[in-house]
Amino acid sequence: MPNDLPFVELRELAKTFFDHRGGETAVIEPLSLAIAEGELVLFVGPSGCGKTTVMRMIGGLELPSGGEILICGRQVEGPSREKGMVFQSYSSFPWLTVFGNICFGLRYRRDISPAQKRAIARHYLSLVGLAPFADFHINRISGGMRQRVAIARTLAADPLVLLMDEPFGALDALSRERLQLQRL
C-alpha cells in the first residue's frame, strides 16, 4: 500500500434509517475521516448517536446510504476476514467449547497450518485468561468469560482492522484492566 493513502478512509459516509411508515432518520450525517495504519480511533458519544452504526459499516455489516469506505484503497463492499469485530453483546457458538470458539476465528486462514492455528488459539486463550476453561462449553461459563472468548476469537483471526464495540462492558474490573493493558 502506498504510504500516501490512508489505511482506513471514510468519504462523506452517511446513513439514514427508514421506519415502516416511510419516515426517515439520518443517523450519520456526511462524515469524512482518514485513519493511518496502527492508529487507535475511539468514537465517543451518547447512546444512540451512531457509533455502532459507523463500526458496522466499516466492518461491511451495514451498507451506507451515502459515501464510501476504503480500506487500503479498496472499497468496503461487505464483511471479510480483513475486518474483525467484537460486538457489545456476547457472540459465541454454544455447540463449541471455549477453545473451539477461538479456533473458529481461524478457520478461513489458508496461510497457516492446522498446528499453527491451534498454537495461535492457545496463545489468545491464555492472553484472555481462559486456558483452564478451554474444554468448557460456552453455556458453562459466565457472560464476562464469553465476551473474553469473543475477543480472543477476533484477535486470533488477525484482521487488518479491529473494530470493538464496548468489548469490555461485560467484564469484571480486574479482567477489564488486565485486557486494557495487553499489547495486542
> 3-state SS of the chain?
CCCCCCCEEEEEEEEEEECCCCCEEEEEEEEEEEECCCCCCCCCCCCCCCHHHHHHHHCCCCCCCEEEEEECCEECCCCCCCEEEECCCCCCCCCCEHHHHHHHCCCCCCCCCHHHHHHHHHHHHHHCCCHHHCCCEHHHCCHHHHHHHHHHHHHHCCCCEEEECCCCCCCCHHHHHHHHCCCC
Mean of pLDDT values over 94-122: 92
Are 125 and 102 members of one domain? yes
Same domain flag for 66 and 99? no
| Structural domain span for residue 29 | 1-78
- Domains in the chain, number: 2
**Same domain, residue pair 140 and 170:** yes
Question: pTM, whole model, 2 decimals?
Answer: 0.82
Domain boundary among 50, 78, 106: 78
What's residue 98's pLDDT? 96
Q: Say what the pLDDT of residue 56 is.
A: 94
Range from 97-101, 107-111, 153-157 carrying the lowest mean pLDDT: 107-111
Do 31 and 106 belong together in one domain?
no
Q: Which residue has the higher pLDDT, 80 or 89?
A: 80
pLDDT tens digits for range 145-173 = 888 899 899 999 999 999 988 766 656 66
pLDDT value at residue 37: 93
Assess whether 133 and 151 both reside in one domain: yes
**Are residue 162 and residue 118 in the same domain, yes or no?**
yes
Q: Which of 78, 98, 133 is the last residue of a domain?
A: 78
